[in-house]
């Protein structure tokens, strides 16, 4: 199925765009919020976003990664679309069981695309990319659904990674 960015973007805004006073994970306040759970829990929209994200992936990947919790449905959907395995990057090691920061099997010398949802400054995505790198992976690209245009792309580049958003605040008309 071909990816129709305009149509999927309209559905994304309709499903997830909220106005009000919101505190973002970056610590910034915003008059709007893109609620990732409203688009990642709607199967048809999630599937179409996964198709779009899959189109942003570079050749030669061996693995995908998604940051807990918000990016896990996205990473799962992109994995189903591409057939690539994925790992979950925890924000902190769990205090029981294996106490791992990465869940799943990260192949040795993995070539990874990190999947994310809505980025403002990309702080969590950059931390996850650095962790993957420390574990021996090469993060080929950070692909994400929405760039809020508040420094995410610039911060990703400054950290030495390549970012590729599916949509931007401007492209969504918000």
| Cβ(123)–Cβ(163) below 8 Å | no
| 174 vs 76: CA distance, rounded Å | 27
The full DSSP string for 86-138 is EEEE-SS--SSTT--SEES---TT-EEEEEEEEESS-HHHHHHHHHHHHTT-E
| 82 vs 51: CA distance, rounded Å | 9
The CATH T-level fold of domain 5-172 is: Rossmann fold (3.40.50)
The pTM of the full predicted model, rounded to 2 decimals, is 0.95
Q: Could you read off the pLDDT of 2-55 as tens digits, one per residue?
A: 899 999 999 999 999 999 999 988 888 999 999 999 999 999 999 999 999 999
Number of Cα atoms under 13 Å in the Cβ half of residue 86? 25
Split at pLDDT 50, 70, 90, the class of 98 is low
Domain map (residue ranges) of the chain: 5-172
């Amino acid at each position: 199925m071909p990816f129709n960015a305009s149509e999927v973007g309209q559905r994304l805004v309709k499903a997830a765009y909220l106005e009000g006073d919101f505190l973002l994970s970056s610590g910034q306040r915003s008059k709007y919020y893109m609620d990732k759970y409203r688009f990642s829990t709607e199967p048809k929209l999630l599937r179409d976003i996964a198709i779009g994200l899959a189109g942003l992936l570079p050749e030669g990947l061996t693995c995908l990664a998604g940051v807990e919790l918000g990016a896990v449905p996205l990473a799962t959907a992109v994995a189903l679309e591409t057939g690539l395995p994925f790992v979950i990057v925890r924000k902190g090691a769990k205090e029981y069981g294996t106490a791992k920061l990465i869940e799943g099997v990260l192949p040795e010398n993995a070539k990874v695309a990190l999947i994310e949802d809505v980025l403002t400054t990309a702080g969590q995505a950059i931390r996850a990319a650095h962790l993957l790198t420390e574990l021996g992976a090469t993060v080929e690209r950070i692909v994400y659904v929405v760039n809020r245009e508040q420094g995410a792309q610039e911060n990703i580049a400054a950290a030495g990674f390549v970012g590729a958003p599916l949509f931007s605040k401007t492209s969504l008309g918000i």
